[in-house]
């Protein structure tokens, strides 16, 4: 079956007693058992079934099951935010004395998780340029526990070569972990490109319309202990399992993901092309533009679409603020891949607490505006941008 059909017509993990067509929402905490023996079997994992909603819930299970069927992952685990998915994944692979090989081009909280939170527990960070394979090769050492990256970095829009990084990780027998938030997991198979563990914020494309927070971990089964650590240890002890109401909304989101995404990606390309002709915009960055340096690699890795994140550079920070203040239709908000088009000035917001030196190291410039393109008519968005630039 094709992915669009799987997304809609995958049967529930267990048939609904009333025959509900849309996924039933279970908000309860505990589940009753027929007898003591069944109770013992479920609690000790000899039999499948929910016992307590901190670690298992039928609505969340249905979402995990559909994502598993769509991705071909061996195990899927749903968390209460993208950051919960990322932090639990890194907790599962790291330990005191180990180091994470990654880049400075990371989502702000992920960078801070690695360089601050985990550092306090004795986990090191080796920050390198992941597009420079020699640098990565020499950064990896006997204490490295993974190579971690974002498939398209935010807001730099840089793309690394996954197959080449996977070859380096394989040599050391460590997992390649990729945050795929910026391109929906249904568009490509990162596992075929050598990714061992995929994480993404389902707050973004999956929820659609920015309805709910969530994060998913797709474990392709190449590191057998990983699932045991996630499901047998961290899920219980950290307690960051996805909320059932979010799982309900995100299952509905998953059903329309492909239709929404195709439209958002084509809108983004249309807008990126249109932005080029507008006076006052010094640079337009979008990996779907043919002269973007990552265009070929992105096509090879992610297929014909290029996501819905576009950045523009204006003359100065003041010009950016003035532009943002003059928008009438595009919303001043963070989040990515909402149904609405959103604009933000990353340097003063998401990255607002980093020093100027850190911002320079991360290539986050105060002349950059990030646009997350929505489902509106793209001509209306271009018209709003033109008027905000005084044209
Ligand atoms: C938003 C985002 C996250 C964090 O996700 P939350 O659901 O907000 O916790 C992680 N990585 C990337 C690339 C993101 O865009």
81 in contact with ligand 1, CB cutoff 6 A:
yes
User: 58 and 141, same structural domain?
Assistant: yes
Whole-number Å distance, alpha carbon 213 to ligand 1 midpoint, is 9
Question: Do residue 348 and residue 223 come from a single domain?
Answer: no
Relative to the CA of 153, which ligand 1 atom is closest?
13
Q: What domain range is 157 assigned to?
A: 3-251
Does one domain contain both 120 and 222? yes
203 lines ligand 1 (CB under 6 A): yes
Q: Does ligand 1 have an atom closer than 6 angstroms to the CB of 215?
A: yes
Overall pTM > 0.75: yes
Hey, what are 386's tokens? 């033109």
- Number of structural domains, the chain? 2
Say yes or no: 267 and 183 in one domain.
Answer: no
Distance 81 CA to ligand 1 centre (A): 8
The answer on 130 and 38 residing in a single domain is: yes
Mutation choice for ligand 1 from 84, 85, 107, 372, CB with most ligand atoms inside 8 A: 107
Contact 235, 273 (CB under 8 A): no
Do residues 247 and 271 share a domain? Answer: no
- 87 C-beta closer than 6 A to ligand 1: no
E-state strands within the chain: 75-79, 99-102, 124-127, 144-150, 176-179, 197-201, 215-219, 283-285, 309-313, 331-332, 342-344, 368-372
Q: Tens-of-pLDDT digits for all 391 residues of the chain? A: 899 999 999 999 999 999 999 999 999 999 999 999 999 999 998 998 899 999 999 999 999 999 999 999 999 999 999 999 999 999 999 999 999 999 999 999 999 999 999 999 999 999 999 999 999 999 999 999 999 999 999 999 999 999 999 999 999 999 999 999 999 999 999 999 999 999 999 999 999 789 999 999 999 999 999 999 999 999 999 999 999 999 999 999 999 999 999 999 999 999 999 999 899 999 999 999 999 999 999 999 999 999 999 999 999 999 999 999 999 999 999 999 999 999 999 999 999 999 999 999 999 999 999 999 999 999 999 999 999 999 8
From the CB of 181, is ligand 1 less than 6 Å away?
yes
- 287 shares its domain with 246: no
Indicate if 63 and 160 belong to the same structural domain.
Answer: yes
């Amino acid at each position: 079956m094709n992915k669009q059909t799987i997304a809609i017509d995958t049967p529930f993990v267990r048939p609904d007693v009333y025959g509900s067509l849309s996924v039933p929402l279970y908000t309860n905490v505990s589940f009753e058992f027929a007898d003591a023996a069944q109770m013992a079997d479920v609690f000790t994992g000899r039999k499948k079934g929910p016992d307590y909603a901190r670690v298992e819930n039928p609505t969340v299970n249905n979402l995990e099951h559909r994502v598993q069927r769509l991705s071909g992952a061996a195990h899927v685990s749903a968390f209460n935010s993208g950051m919960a998915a990322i932090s639990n994944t890194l907790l599962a692979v790291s330990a005191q004395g180990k180091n994470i090989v990654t880049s400075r081009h990371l989502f702000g909280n992920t960078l801070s998780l690695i360089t601050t939170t985990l550092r306090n527990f004795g986990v090191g960070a080796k920050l390198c340029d992941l597009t420079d394979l020699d640098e990565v090769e020499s950064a990896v050492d006997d204490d490295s526990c993974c190579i971690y990256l974002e498939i398209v970095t935010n807001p730099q829009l840089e793309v690394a070569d996954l197959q080449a990084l996977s070859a380096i990780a394989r040599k050391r027998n460590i997992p390649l972990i990729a945050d795929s938030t910026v391109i929906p997991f249904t568009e490509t198979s990162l596992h075929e490109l050598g990714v061992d563990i995929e994480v993404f914020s389902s707050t973004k494309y999956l929820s659609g319309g920015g309805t709910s927070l969530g994060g998913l971990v797709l474990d392709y089964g190449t590191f057998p202990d990983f699932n045991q650590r996630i499901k047998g240890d961290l899920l219980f002890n950290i307690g960051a399992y996805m909320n059932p109401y979010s799982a309900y909304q995100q299952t509905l989101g998953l059903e329309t993901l492909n239709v929404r995404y195709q439209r958002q990606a084509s809108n983004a390309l249309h807008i990126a092309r249109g932005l080029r002709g507008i006076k006052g915009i010094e640079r337009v960055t979008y990996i779907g533009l043919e002269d973007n340096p990552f265009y070929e690699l992105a096509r090879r890795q992610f297929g014909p679409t290029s996501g819905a994140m576009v950045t523009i550079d204006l003359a100065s920070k003041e010009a950016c603020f003035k532009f943002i203040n003059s928008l009438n239709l595009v919303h001043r908000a963070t989040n990515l891949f909402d149904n609405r088009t959103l604009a933000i000035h990353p340097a003063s917001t998401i990255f607002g607490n980093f020093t100027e030196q850190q911002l320079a190291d991360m290539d986050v410039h105060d002349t950059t505006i990030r646009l997350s393109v929505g489902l509106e008519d793209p001509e209306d968005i271009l018209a709003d941008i033109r008027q905000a630039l005084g044209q």
